[in-house]
C-alpha cells in the first residue's frame, strides 16, 4: 500500500536489500506495518538519521496514508489494500 501511495505522490520507489552501511547514510528511514502504518526512524544504532528529525518525504507519506485510512474507513478509497 505504501508503494502505491508513494507512486501516487510521484515519489520513486525501489525495492531491494540494503546493507547496513548504506542504511546508515540514508537521509530518511521509515518502517511500515499493517497495524502501525508508517513509523519514522530518527535514530539508527544510536546515531541520528539525516538531521535527526522526520524528513519531508516521510511526512508526505504519513499524511497521505492517514487520508487513505480515513477514506477506506468510510468506504471511499479508490486504492485497494
Over the stretch 22-67, which tens digit does the pLDDT of each residue have? 999 999 999 999 889 999 999 999 999 999 999 999 999 999 999 9
| Domain annotation covers residue 15 | yes
| Domain annotation covers residue 53 | yes
Q: Provide the grid cell at 44.
A: 539508527
Domain containing 30 equals 2-73
Q: What's the pLDDT band for 76 if we cut at 50, 70, 90?
A: confident
- The total number of structural domains in the chain stands at 1
| Domain annotation covers residue 42 | yes
Distance CA 60, CA 8 (A): 11
pTM of the model: 0.86
| Domain annotation covers residue 79 | no
The pLDDT assigned to 79 comes to 67
Distance CA 35, CA 23 (A): 24
**CATH number for the domain harbouring residue 40:** 3.20.10.10
Contact (CB, 8 A) for 58 and 2: no
- Residues forming beta bridges with residue 29, ordered by sequence position: 41
| Domain annotation covers residue 80 | no
Is residue 81 pLDDT above 50, yes or no?
A: no
Amino acid at each position: 500500500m505504501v508503494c502505491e501511495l508513494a507512486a501516487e505522490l510521484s515519489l520513486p520507489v525501489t525495492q531491494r536489500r540494503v546493507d547496513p552501511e548504506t542504511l546508515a547514510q540514508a537521509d530518511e528511514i521509515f518502517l511500515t506495518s499493517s497495524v502501525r502504518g508508517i513509523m519514522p526512524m530518527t535514530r539508527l544504532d544510536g546515531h541520528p538519521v539525516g538531521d535527526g528529525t522526520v524528513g519531508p518525504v516521510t511526512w508526505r507519506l504519513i499524511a497521505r496514508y492517514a487520508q487513505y485510512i480515513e477514506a477506506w474507513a468510510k468506504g471511499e478509497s479508490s486504492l485497494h489494500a
